[in-house]
Amino acid sequence: MAEFTLHPTLMADCHVLGTLELSQVLLHRNASVPWFILVPEVEVIELCDLSAMERAALHAEIDTLSARLREDFPITKLNVAAIGNLVPQLHVHVIGRHETDPCWPDVVWGNLPDGPTWPESKVKELKRSLSL
């Protein structure tokens, strides 16, 4: 198997926090909403093409990030989606939403205005809290 590399758009838009069992964990640079992205280190581009073991591992990773969002941020709703129209590499968004975020109640894709970036101290704190 070829060495795994992140899609250039994900590299440009995100901080790389580390790796879980299956996936690389990214944090979107725009700190207007807590937006994690899981990128399974696999060669498939659709969720349905993962093996049963890979799907189970990815689901557990989604649960881990969801729990972290609920503990670390004042969120009202979790948005979890695997939408890869512009970035074909399989990836899953795990986003914490709140009525006061700049896109509420609309989706963040295409609606999130330029916002503050995460301070390096918060990026390091999130890495520690996820044991990455």
Query: Has residue 65 been placed in a domain?
Result: yes
Return d(Cα 44, Cα 19) in angstroms, integer. 18
Give the burial class of 25: count Cβ atoms within 10 A of its Cβ; 0-12 exposed, 13-18 middle, 19 or more buried: buried
Query: Has residue 2 been placed in a domain?
Result: no
Indicate yes or no: pTM above 0.75: yes
Residue 91, domain extent: 8-129
Which three-class secondary structure state does DSSP give residue 25?
A: strand
Residue 116 belongs to domain with CATH number: 3.30.428.10
Q: What is the arithmetic mean of pLDDT over 61-81?
A: 95
Query: Has residue 17 been placed in a domain?
Result: yes
Predicted confidence (pLDDT) per residue in 21-62, tens digit: 999 999 999 999 999 999 999 999 999 999 999 999 999 999
Confidence of residue 85 (pLDDT cuts 50, 70, 90): confident
Query: Has residue 118 been placed in a domain?
Result: yes
Is residue 1 predicted with pLDDT exceeding 70? Answer: no
Number of domains in the chain: 1
Judge contact between 65 and 38, C-beta under 8 A. yes
Q: What is the arithmetic mean of pLDDT over 94-105?
A: 96
Asked whether the CA dihedral 41, 44, 47, 52 is positive or negative, the reply is negative
Is residue 81 predicted with pLDDT exceeding 70? Answer: yes
Of the chain, the end-to-end C-alpha distance in Å amounts to 24
Q: What is the arithmetic mean of pLDDT over 120-129?
A: 94
Q: What is the pLDDT of residue 126?
A: 93
Is residue 127 predicted with pLDDT exceeding 60? Answer: yes
